[in-house]
Each structure stands twice: as structure tokens, then as C-alpha cells.
């Protein structure tokens, strides 16, 4: 009798265990289904297109704009100081979206930045090795001796740099106004001032606490392979302070072909508006204009088949001026940006205005003097 009761008790316990196991499985399935529904909802929300003009929420940017820029509160705002001093003294790195807006505006306003090579550096001591010369080669017989050939040498390029700064101001009343878009205003103000300053430096900067402009390098009329590395070649226009009286377009053709064929892939003209106005009047013998407008909106105009970039920092036509550049600037000129833009909020210096002192280190130098040619407005 006792044996029979133990057997029934074991069977009952087994039934309870089975029920509990089934309930656990059901709960697990319900949990998995709920988790899957949550993941699907997040995927749908991520894939949904935002409304026109809407921005994705960025807590770091929002905190930077609403707390630091508008009210000067840095407590609780996650920002990286770029100085060994305290955060308030050293300034703070601008969030990526604002810094990206500044960079995009810089590229559209600063013509040389748009056509040159731009690198991001972590230190101010950026260096680049450039190979010069050529490695020799020769023909020999099967058993002839193999004499030593020439070896390419290397030149070190260290772009001079300086700290570029802008210091726009806004009243505290403007910052307190929720309708005032401080983010867009600040990005536009900084980018505009940066573009003007760096545009002039990339063309004619002397390399002292600023980039070294390509027109500040030594020039000569010697061809490639003869002149010293780092010296630019120029071609004379045929008249002092003007184009040649007859067939002035011939000098432009000669300038194009003074640039070796590999560099002409991606080459462009650089000049100011006044110089371009003179060239736009040039015609071929059959009456066609050398200058041709872009076929579609946004496309650059061309001269002899190459795009024309208007840079107002290029010198006007005058005696011995270097008013026209032609070359592959992506191969010939390097711009080195160090780090991000920094902003220091200053509400004390000029009350009731709040100044935003923005800084960024920028360097620039020629890296291949064979990739850029100049036209000198001289008789020879």
C-alpha cells in the first residue's frame, strides 16, 4: 500500500513539474515576442524619413547650444577641453554637427580649400616626405655588368601653420530669444571670417604664423627638371602689365602645355574676376570665345577645356604680377587642419554683448612645385 502511494505521489510531482515547465516556456516565448516587437518598432522609427527641416536629436549638441552658448552653463555639459588650462580658459571642442557645418561653408567660400588636398592632423608638427628626381634605368646584355643607377632623393615638407580666429558677438537678449537660431548664426559667422582670412593666406601668406601661400614661393622661367625643388615656373605674358597685343590667347595655350600631361588631369585655372573679365573677351580666329560657361547650373565655366576658379585674393594684372595660376592643386598644394574648432564664451569683455572666441590651427604649403604654373605679366 505504501509503495502504491509513493508511486502516485511521484506521478503527481512529475505532472506539477511538467505544468511549471510549460508555464516557463510560455513566459519565455512571451518575453521573446515582446523584445522582438520592441526591436521592430525601433527599426521602423530609425528607417522612417524625418520631416522636412527636422534634425535628429543630438543630446551633446543640444546641451552645448542651449546651456553653454545661450546661458554660459558648462556644468553637466559633456565637452572636451582642448587646453591644459581649465575648460573655461582653454575653450571647448565644438560638437561635430556644428563643426561640420563650418567646414562645409569654408569649402564653399574659400576657393583654394575646395581644390587643394586637405588633411586632418593631431599635432602642429605635421611632416610629409616627397620624392624628388627619378630612379635611372638602362639596357644591358645578358652577361653585361649592371652599373648603379640614380636614386630618388626625398624632401621634407613642413607646412607653416598659425592659429586662425574669429570673435563674433551677440547680445544676451538675442541669446535668450528662443526664436534666434544661435547654432546657424555662429557657424555662418565663424565660417565667413575664417574663409576670408585663410583664402588670402593660401594665395599670398608669408608662412609666419600662417600658411605659406603658393605665390610666396620663389619663381623662375626654368622648366621642370632644371629648376630647384620648391620653385615655381612662370611664363611671360608677352607685355609688361598686360597680355600681348596680338594673339594673346597663344600664351594661355603655352601655359597649359607647360604643365606635364599627368598633372593636367584635374587641373584648373585660378584668377580673380578682373583678370577673368579680360580673358572672356578673347576669341579664336573663327570668332569662338575661349571661355565657355557651364552647361548646367553649378558646373564651373571652362577656359580651353579646364575649369576656372575665381579667387579674389589673386593679384590684379600689373607689371610683373603673377595674376594667373594653372595647375593641379590637389597634387600641388596641401592644407593641414589641426583638430576641431574651439569656442570660448566671453560675456565679460564687452557687456552687454557675449563674444564667441573661435580658434582653429591651419597650415598650408606647396608639396609639388611641378604641379602649379604661373603667368607673369612681363615682356619676358
- Secondary structure in 3-state letters for 184-241: HHHHHHHHHHHHHHHHHHHHHCECCCCCECHHHCCEECCCCCCCCCCCEEEEECEECC
Alpha helices in the chain (DSSP H): 2-47, 59-63, 70-71, 87-90, 96-109, 111-115, 172-176, 182-204, 249-258, 261-264, 273-279, 329-332
The CA distance from 7 to 33, in Å, is 39
d(CA 321, CA 303): 20
Model-level pTM?
Answer: 0.71
Q: pLDDT tens digits for 119-137?
A: 988 776 778 777 776 677 8
Report helix, strand or coil for 60.
helix
Architecture of the 59-132+151-210+335-366 domain: 2-Layer Sandwich (3.30)
337 φ, ψ (degrees, to nearest 5)? -100, 125
Q: Which of residues 222 and 299 earns the better pLDDT score?
A: 222
pLDDT tens digits, one per residue of 167-204: 888 888 888 886 778 878 888 888 888 888 999 999 99
Q: Is 355 exposed, middle or buried (0-12, 13-18, 19+ CB in 10 A)?
A: middle
Q: Name the average pLDDT for the chain.
A: 80
| CATH class name, domain 217-329+370-376 | alpha beta
Q: Which of 16-30, 48-62, 217-231, 281-295 has the highest mean pLDDT?
A: 217-231
Q: How is the chain split into domains, by residue range?
A: 59-132+151-210+335-366, 217-329+370-376
Amino acid at each position: 500500500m505504501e509503495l502504491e502511494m509513493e508511486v502516485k505521489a511521484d506521478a503527481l510531482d512529475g505532472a506539477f513539474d511538467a505544468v511549471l515547465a510549460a508555464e516557463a516556456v510560455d513566459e519565455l516565448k512571451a518575453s521573446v515576442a515582446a523584445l522582438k516587437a520592441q526591436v521592430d518598432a525601433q527599426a521602423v522609427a530609425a528607417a522612417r524619413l524625418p520631416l522636412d527641416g527636422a534634425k535628429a536629436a543630438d543630446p551633446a549638441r543640444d546641451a552645448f547650444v542651449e546651456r553653454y552658448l545661450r546661458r554660459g552653463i558648462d556644468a553637466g555639459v559633456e565637452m572636451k577641453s582642448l587646453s591644459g588650462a581649465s575648460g573655461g580658459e582653454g575653450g571647448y571642442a565644438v560638437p561635430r554637427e556644428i563643426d561640420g557645418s563650418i567646414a562645409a561653408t569654408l569649402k564653399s567660400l574659400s576657393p583654394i580649400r575646395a581644390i587643394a588636398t586637405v588633411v586632418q592632423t593631431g599635432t602642429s608638427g605635421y611632416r610629409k616626405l616627397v620624392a624628388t628626381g627619378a630612379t635611372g634605368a638602362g639596357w644591358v646584355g645578358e652577361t653585361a655588368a649592371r652599373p648603379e643607377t640614380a636614386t630618388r632623393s626625398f624632401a621634407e615638407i613642413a607646412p607653416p601653420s598659425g592659429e586662425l580666429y574669429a570673435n563674433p558677438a551677440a547680445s544676451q537678449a538675442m541669446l535668450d530669444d528662443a526664436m534666434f537660431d544661435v547654432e546657424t548664426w555662429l557657424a555662418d559667422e565663424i565660417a565667413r571670417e575664417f574663409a576670408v582670412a585663410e583664402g588670402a593666406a593660401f594665395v599670398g601668406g608669408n608662412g609666419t604664423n600662417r600658411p605659406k601661400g603658393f605665390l610666396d614661393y620663389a619663381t623662375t622661367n626654368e622648366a621642370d627638371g632644371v629648376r630647384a625643388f620648391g620653385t615655381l615656373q612662370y611664363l611671360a605674358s608677352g607685355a609688361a602689365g598686360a597680355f600681348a597685343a596680338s594673339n594673346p590667347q597663344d600664351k594661355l595655350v603655352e601655359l597649359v602645355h607647360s604643365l606635364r600631361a599627368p598633372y593636367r588631369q584635374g587641373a584648373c585655372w585660378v584668377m580673380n574676376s578682373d583678370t577673368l573679365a579680360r580673358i572672356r573677351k578673347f576669341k579664336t580666329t573663327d570668332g569662338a570665345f575661349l571661355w565657355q560657361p557651364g552647361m548646367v547650373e553649378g558646373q564651373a565655366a571652362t577656359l580651353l577645356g579646364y575649369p576656372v576658379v575665381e579667387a579674389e585674393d589673386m593679384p590684379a594684372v600689373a607689371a610683373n604680377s603673377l595674376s594667373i595660376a594653372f595647375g593641379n592643386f590637389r597634387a600641388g598644394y596641401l592644407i593641414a587642419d589641426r583638430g576641431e574648432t574651439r569656442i570660448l564664451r566671453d560675456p565679460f569683455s564687452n557687456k552687454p554683448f557675449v563674444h564667441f572666441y573661435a580658434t582653429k590651427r591651419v597650415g598650408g604649403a606647396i608639396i609639388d612645385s611641378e604641379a602649379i604654373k604661373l603667368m607673369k605679366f612681363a615682356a619676358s
